[in-house]
Chain A
Amino acid sequence: MNDLTLIRKGVFRKKVRATLLILSILVAFLIFGVLGAVNAAFGAGVDTAAANRLVTVNKINFTLSMPYAYYGRVRQVDGVENVTHANWFGGYYQEPRNFVQSFAVEPATYLAAYPELQFGEGQAEAFINTRDCLAVGADLLTQFEDWELGRRIPVRSNIWRQQDGSDTWEFEICAVFDGEQDNVPANYAFFHYEYYNEALQFGSDEIGWMVINTTDPSVNDQVIADIDEMFVNSRAESETTTEGAFNQAFVEQFGNIGMILTLVISAAFATILMIVGTTMFLAISERTREIAVLKTLGFSQPRIFTHVLSESVLLSLIGGLIGLGLAALFVSVAAAALSAFLPGLSMSTETILTAVAIMIGFGLITGLVPAINAMRVQIVDGLSKS
């Protein structure tokens, strides 16, 4: 036997109570783990943003387009290394519920803008050189059983029409890409702007947004100022931001996800903190006589304090780690099912470390008052308790 035995025995002194407390803590950390992973997935675009990448959109709203001519003008700005452009296609495969997040892009410059996209051997070149090629993200590819490299597929748009009235563009899947890291999205597809633009019934020679790689992040501010100044008082004024700021703004269209999740998690923790704190307080109060006996035997005040605090931390760690484990399991199952819609859904090391830190903090907070009370138990008073 050692002190850890005493601490363990103290935690499980009343098994039903300990189990219920562990269950409460488990729920809190299950919520924390799952929502933390969701939050990270929403913020993946911000995390993966390159420091030297800028995004230019229509100043009124990013859903409004800009003249194609802007592309050529931005290429002339000092400090710009590469410029590409993209248009939102709003595609689906066969049925509207089979959503295909897809963009019309300028092939060579698009790949240059996003070096983190990894292609199989020869596929990047195949994409650049094939007018009707559809480059498909690995996560998107898994959503459709009949999609494979070399297959021709129709993709319909819920926005655009061809001059013949058709809403369908035929593509050949000639390239499959994936991110060099797990948090780089691979749940979308892109194809040649020219192939799309030349067939358009309306809205041709317009671009949705531009992605600019600067020569160095230190010139970002100047490049941003130069680009936006270039289009002042034009029919489509521009707004240029860093890619990180753009992605953050995009995510915040849905509301401040981080704030919402923080509030939900905080509410869960606050409730459970009070439940566990009160229960720990009562549990230790019930043991006043036992604590007095330990002190009579010679256990010092700091040792008693440490025991009670350790019980609380142990309880929190047991519940928290089980909850986090279940959250990891849930997230891994959900990640597979939601890879096309919420790429990068995984429990990060940061989430795990944060959770463990919260577990320890939670245990310390809920155990502090009972531990101080236990430490202060007067032996004579404690022994007289029935």
Chain B
Amino acid sequence: MTENAGAASGPLYTLNDLSKAYTRGRESITIFEKLDMQIANGDFIAIMGPSGSGKTTLLNLLGGIDRPSSGEVIFQDQRIDNLSQGALAKWRSNHVGFIFQFYNLMPTLTAAQNVELPLLLTRLSGKERKRRVQTALEVVGLGERSNHRPRQLSGGQQQRVGIARAIVADPEVLLCDEPTGDLDRATADEILETLQLLNNDLGKTIIMVTHDPAAAKYARRELHLDKGRFLEKGGA
């Protein structure tokens, strides 16, 4: 099945004949089979679907943290599904920002140090790293909380730190796995508005997995994944 989720410009991602199956004991479980898809640069896609439909698996394949059983994942004309572990790690640090449902911040580090983590993989000077961290924290409205540790922050604030960490290295794409799944409605809306701002104003391509129809409405486009197939609905 082919799904064109393209927006304004050429494809950022191209998925060709993508299949993913897990083996559990002697049983092979197919998540999806021969999936074709294109995602344009600058798009904001919400991927929805029932549990077990493969939303997170698809996100993991797009993020290069899992490998397909067969098929191709092409990012900006570069095939990434066959890269080595080391090359994939480097590719992730250069191109992708991850936002998790449970924030996944390092508890021993301050907000600023958490945000700085991806920059440790760059050759930037300490001064430049500090400047970028401060900018990222200000973008998400946490400029004054840089020295707080995660446990000193609310859930919404922790997710903002997570967003700052995802954008600090200026990646082209943000992959968000249920970014508001652990937040109340009001806080979730604030986070989603921030994501929308990153998409509209900074041109970040955002691919968000969510169960929440209200969250999906912030996306330009909604894709429903069910039984290994995409069903498209109109976005916000």
Contact = CB atoms under 8 A, between A and B. Distances in A.
Does A pair with B?
yes
Contact of A298 (B100, B121, B126, B129): B121
A297 B118 contact: yes
Interface string B82-116: 00011001101110001010001011110001001
A290 B63 CA distance: 17
B117 A380 contact: no
A87 B106 CA distance: 73
Interface stretch (A1-9, A28-36, A51-59, A202-210): A1-9
Given A9-B108, A13-B108, A383-B104, A297 B65 contact: no
A182 B87 CA distance: 58
Interface in A283-311: 289-290, 293-302
A322 interface: no
B65 A296 contact: yes
Contacts of A2: 120, 126
A380 B65 contact: yes
Interface in A1-43: 1-3, 5-6, 9-10, 12-13
A379 B121 contact: no
A118 B61 CA distance: 80
Given A3-B120, A5-B113, A379-B65, A301 B89 contact: yes
Contacts of B90: 298, 300
B60 interface: yes
B106 A290 contact: yes
B66 interface: yes
Nearest to B133: A1
Interface centre among B89, B93, B104 (most CB of A within 10 A): B89
Overall SS of chain B's interface: helix
Given A289-B104, A380-B60, A380-B66, A301 B86 contact: yes
Interface in A263-293: 289-290, 293
Interface residues of A, number: 24
A1 B89 contact: no
Nearest to A3: B120
A299 B63 CA distance: 14
Contacts of B98: 296-297
A5 to B, nearest CB: 7
Contact of B117 (A10, A12, A297, A379): A297
Interface string A178-213: 000000000000000000000000000000000000
B121 A1 contact: no
A293 B105 CA distance: 8
Contact of B85 (A9, A10, A294, A301): A301
